Amino acid sequence: MSKVEIGTKANEAFAVGYYTRAVELYEQLLSLAHESNDRQAEADTLGNLGNAYASLGKIYQAIDLYNQAISVSREIGDRKVESNALGNLALIYLDKGEIKKAIELFEEALAIAQEIGDKQGEANRLSNLGNAYAILGHYEQAIQLYEKALSLTETLGDIKGAAITYHNLGNIHSVMGNTQSAHKLYEKTLDKSRLVGDRFSEGAILHSLGNLFSKQARFKDAEMAYLESLNVGEKINNRNHLAQVYHSLGNLYSKDRNRFKEAEDAYQKSIEIGEKINNRNHLAQVYHSLGNLYSKDRNRFKEAEDAYQKSIELKK
């Protein structure tokens, strides 16, 4: 295969959640870039490889690759690749809970995007910064950042980007207990995602709607939203999404003692998919939930203990 063909197949594998396959293909591209001393291809591929490892939950490999991408992009003067790598590195630290470090990196990436006139990158960084401040509980600051991001995405005619930011705003209002506002924002996001045929966002929003309904004890509505989200995920073969929604569905069923078996089945499906995509962080969370489920049954305390132990091992 040519470099272009390998790159196309790698991107396609990544898009549908075949992260291990994406890693294999990106590593082939990286070797070819080294052989031909193609520094631009090296910088681009290091960033993509970092994304694939991050999606597998292999954060330390991802951090190393993003730092390499930053170093190479600085050597060749590619500010856009540098900004993207900084932003992706910030996402890793955000997931690790190192929020202040993430904010520093997001701000550095944002400054570069503004300097080079990358409006799309600027909108992305503003939205990501909003996420970071939301985690810190600085909701008003987060909302201001989301609104700035929305202004840019709407100016750019970026309906998909606007949908993602409306989704983030919905999450903020959900956390703040403004369930009616959250519901309206999620519905608006759903309409925009369907308008542009963005099935990935559609599935994610349906998942968020399910979480909102679950929080409101609207369990039938939550179940319907989760099942619809699963249907979307199956159509586009988004395995990472499917693993997450099955986990949420298991959590929903676990609230009803009469649906213990359905909860167990949903967790097991989530684990099965998580193992196929080798997402250790996700697996650790699901095994912990499975332990919680088994601990409700005195006859299954040993299974609960095993599940908790498995969760601990996966976090190492």
CA 280 to chain CA centroid, Å, is: 14
Of 65, 58, 125, nearest in space to 96 by CA: 58
Give pLDDT, residue 209: 97
Contact present, 160 and 196 (Cβ < 8 Å):
yes
Domain coverage including residue 279: 238-316
pLDDT at 259 > cutoff 80: yes
Summarised one tens digit per residue, pLDDT across range 85-104 is 999 999 999 988 899 999 99
Q: Is residue 263 part of a domain?
A: yes
- Residue 272 resides in a domain: yes
- Residue showing tokens 């250790």: 280
Q: Decide if 144 is inside a domain.
A: no
For the cut 80, the answer to whether the pLDDT of residue 316 exceeds it is no
Give pLDDT tens digits for 136-149: 999 999 999 999 99
pLDDT band at residue 180 under the 50/70/90 scheme: very high
pTM score = 0.76
C-alpha separations of 244 from 63, 117, 137, 272, 291 in Å? 23, 36, 24, 12, 17
Assigned domain for 295 exists: yes
What's the rounded mean pLDDT across residues 66-70? Answer: 98
Output phi, psi for 176, to 5 deg. -75, -5
Give the integer Cα–Cα distance in Å for 169 and 143: 7
Our count of domains for the chain comes to 1
The CATH number of the domain holding residue 270 is 1.25.40.10
The answer to whether 155 and 125 are in contact (CB under 8 A) is: no
Residue 148 counted as domain residue = no
